[in-house]
Amino acid sequence: MNLFSIKGKLIALGILFILLVFFLNLGKSSNINSLDRKTNITPTHASAENESVTYHGILPCDSCDGYDTTITLIKTKSGDNGTYKLSEKKLGLDNVAITYDGIWTTSYGLDDEHPDAKIIVLDPDNEDILTGYYVVDDAHIEELDYNGYRYDDPEKYQLTLQK
């Protein structure tokens, strides 16, 4: 039995395995390494094939004067998904902005009255929390509750497109 040839074959197999893993992961490389809402994805700009839109408004808050909320959606070429950056500041309290980054996608259908409604869903694979926005019109989105329903006074939950 030739010990060198067995040892050489093991080393060669190890190198091949490392190369295989490297090349398989090369195509999957992305800044999105987690679907958790608190990932650290910070898009610096939209590329020529990506477009960004920003919405802003003051949303109701039970323990403060309102949530100063800004969300920027960076769309992929298809326009039905992408990354987002959300900033929320509790007015009248600490006034410190908390930011969240992650991915978003589009779904359709809100309720019986709005079966074709377009919904922007943040971090769709996060089962712990549902954050969605109903696209009211070309200039407004409306935050939905954690069950995906509209609030009783929906106008208070609208964010306006920034131009």
The answer to whether residue 144 sits within a structural domain is yes
Q: Is residue 129 part of a domain?
A: yes
Could you tell me if residue 122 is inside a domain? yes
Residue 109 three-state SS: coil
The pLDDT of residue 147: 86
Q: Do 80 and 1 fall into the same domain?
A: no
Is residue 67 a contact partner of residue 73, using CB atoms and an 8 Å limit?
no
Name residue 119's beta-bridge partners: 107, 134
- The single-letter code of the amino acid at 109 is G
**Residues 16 and 76 reside in one and the same domain:** no
Among candidate residues 84, 98, 96, the one with its CA nearest the CA of residue 41: 84
Query: 26 and 85 share a domain?
Result: no
**The amino acid at 163:** K
Whether 149 maps to a domain, the answer reads: yes
- Both 13 and 62 in one domain: the answer is no
- Dihedral sign from CA coordinates of 70, 40, 73, 136: negative
130 with 70, same domain: the answer is yes
54: buried, middle or exposed (CB in 10 Å: 19+, 13-18, 0-12)? middle
Same-domain check for residues 86 and 149: yes
Task: Specify the CATH number for the domain of residue 140.
Answer: 2.40.128.640
Task: Render each residue's pLDDT in the chain as its tens digit; 163 residues.
Answer: 554 566 666 565 556 556 544 444 444 333 333 233 333 333 334 444 579 999 999 999 999 999 999 999 999 988 889 999 999 999 998 879 999 999 999 999 988 888 899 999 999 988 777 789 999 999 999 999 988 899 999 999 999 999 8
| Domain with 125 in it | 51-162
Is this model's pTM higher than 0.75 or not? no
Q: Does 79 share its domain with 110?
A: yes
Q: Which two tokens stand for residue 17?
A: 């395995």
Domain count, the chain: 2
Q: Is 18 a domain residue?
A: yes
- Where helices occur in 27-126 by DSSP H, the ranges are none
